[in-house]
Amino acid sequence: MSIVEEKKAYISSLIKIDNVSNIEIQESLIPPPDPELGDFALPCFKFAKLLKTSPVKIAENIVSSITDDHTMFDKIVAINGYVNFKFNIRASANRVLSEIVTQKSTYANSSEGMGRTICIDYSSINIAKLMHIGHLSTTVIGGALYRIYKKLGYNPIGINHLGDWGTQFGKLIVAFKLWGNIEKLTNDGVSALTEIYVKFHAESETKPELLDMARAAFKRLEDGDPESVQLFELFKKITLDEVNKVYDRLHVHFDSYNGEAFYNDKMDVVINELDSLNLTEISDGAKIVDLSKYDMPPCLLVRSDGATLYATRDLAAAYYRKRTYDFYKCIYVVAYQQNLHFKQLFKVLELAGKTWAKDMIHVPFGMVSLEEGAMSTRRGNVILLMDVLSKAVEKSAEIMTVKNPALKDKMEIAEKIGVGAITFFALNNNRIKDIVFSYDKALSFDGETGPYIQYTNVRALSILRNLGVSDDYFSIPFTDDELAGLDNKESAILLSLLEKMPDILTQVIEKFEPSILSRYIIDVAKAFNRFYLENRIMNAETNYRRARATLTYATHIILEEGLRLLGIDAPTEM
């Protein structure tokens, strides 16, 4: 049980309401709008009907009935139909601080996910295409969920469901044979592929025979013709070499790169099964699953020319993942434009009697666009993710030159700040909202940004460095005299935030929403800065110093681990 849950359980044990269970009381406890009011509030409105009494009266009755001797609480008060509970620092500081400083980065680890595998399909790029700003959200949201699942004891499987199948690869092969050369490809990478692909389209306007050649080339690829396969493998390698550089910078990795091509020989079984269940029918020569009963267009499985589709391969992939990983959940972090695709996919699985269809989850997200005037990095029609990262790093280096000219390893630190700023910006948003990206906003040191958190962490570290103490300085418990150093508003708010981390992580995976964690560490950073502003640490009264330094150390641990979970480095200096 986390500290927060224990506190809730304790509160509910003190309250007796006729015909209302302890569990229900416990689950009704919410954080009050203003942390100064207390740590927990019990809204009494929902009991009014049952008790035939006004919420205001109920709240007052509860307060007067509580016989706790107030060793645990600073105050318990009834306000406007709420009962607010404020725990006293002495009762909880030793507990939470000792948990954090002894467990360090493993604080908030749990085993709740033991034995449960979670497939996470994210990033899932297309071969021979450049990775652009539209890939940012899926990549960093997937990466964050992956690390958080792992921290909670699950077994996450990161899957990059490569878009490596389709007639466009026939076009590329033809274009490469006509205009490409290995040297240019090796030097320019994916851009060289895009270039010849664009040329193919322009030329095929006047030379439609090119399209026939492309179809034939794709057919040869499908049939395993060695030369075509070799060329395709080269395109794939070039693409992966390039995207892996981006993944490294973003600290994202995958356990599997099984993409669409991998399912080429795994679709027949699925289609046969759907046939035998009488789910399929032929419509205009194509094989479909009719979904009109569910207010959806049909799910197209095989085109009239015999070609399979994106959905067919996703069906085969779903079967394969269930069989191979026996997942507890299979998550798809894919833009909301594909809402319908996933609704259809999950419906077909359900109709096929797969009980696990309910464990398939589409985690959609909104679009990222760059604000007006920030388009200088456009290449062709896309804003490359690599360019965005590099530009953010460049700007961070400029900022560091002004802010801290003496800084050693400036470029190394600028990489952490710049890339971290981009990641944080993409994560610190309700997933489903469209976002307009701005370098200045993302890199601001005093907004709700990655650099702000990194900077706050560096501040905490420098306080600790100046104290020049070793780990055993933070040994706990503190005496009451020492704890008096934390008996102030700012410390109380910070402490009550620190103890919430385990519950925050649970919320993130319940809602597939990493922004719950990003906002949380923003709150921690803000609370720490207020604490630091109002309370001396170095020059504190001697008996206060140790407790305050420990709170600083605990904050550093939470910030660093919070950043790591989001995929962001925490520089030790900046």
Residues that bind ligand ARG (CB under 6 A): 121, 124, 126, 161, 163, 314, 317, 332, 334
Phi, psi of 201 (to 5 degrees): -65, -40
3 state DSSP class of 488: coil
Give the Cα separation of 518 and 535 in Å (integer).
26
- Name which of 126 and 369 has its Cβ closer to ligand ARG: 126
- Name which of 332 and 474 has its Cβ closer to ligand ARG: 332
- Name which of 161 and 546 has its Cβ closer to ligand ARG: 161
Tokens 């925490």 belong to residue: 570
Please report how close the Cβ of residue 271 comes to ligand ARG at its closest, in angstroms: 18
**Which positions ≥6 away from 512 have C-beta within 8 Å?**
145, 331, 361, 363, 431
Strands of 136-279, DSSP E? 155-159
Phi, psi of 404 (to 5 degrees): -145, 75
Please report how close the Cβ of residue 256 comes to ligand ARG at its closest, in angstroms: 12
Please report how close the Cβ of residue 323 comes to ligand ARG at its closest, in angstroms: 16
- Name which of 242 and 560 has its Cβ closer to ligand ARG: 242
- Name which of 62 and 301 has its Cβ closer to ligand ARG: 301
> 512: alpha, beta or left, given left = phi > 0 and alpha = psi -120 to 50?
left
**Residue 137: Cβ within 10 Å count:** 24
3 state DSSP class of 130: coil
Please report how close the Cβ of residue 342 comes to ligand ARG at its closest, in angstroms: 8
One-letter amino acid at 61 equals N
- Name which of 20 and 335 has its Cβ closer to ligand ARG: 335
Burial class (CB in 10 A: 0-12, 13-18, 19+), 203: middle
The three-point CA angle 144-99-499 to 5° equals 60
Please report how close the Cβ of residue 124 comes to ligand ARG at its closest, in angstroms: 4
- Name which of 124 and 518 has its Cβ closer to ligand ARG: 124
Please report how close the Cβ of residue 360 comes to ligand ARG at its closest, in angstroms: 10
Alpha helices for 104-181 (secondary structure H)? 136-151, 168-179
Please report how close the Cβ of residue 135 comes to ligand ARG at its closest, in angstroms: 8
Facing residues of 132 across strands? 384
What tokens does 48 get?
Answer: 């009014």
Please report how close the Cβ of residue 134 comes to ligand ARG at its closest, in angstroms: 8
- Name which of 314 and 499 has its Cβ closer to ligand ARG: 314
Please report how close the Cβ of residue 455 comes to ligand ARG at its closest, in angstroms: 36
- Name which of 7 and 161 has its Cβ closer to ligand ARG: 161
CA distances from 537 to 127, 474, 492, 499, 525 (A): 54, 14, 15, 21, 17
For residue 477, say if its preceding peptide bond is cis, omega within 30 degrees of 0.
yes
Please report how close the Cβ of residue 137 comes to ligand ARG at its closest, in angstroms: 12
- Name which of 289 and 486 has its Cβ closer to ligand ARG: 289
Please report, in angstroms and rounded to a whole number, the separation of the first and last CA atoms in the chain: 37
Give the Cα separation of 264 and 9 in Å (integer).
54
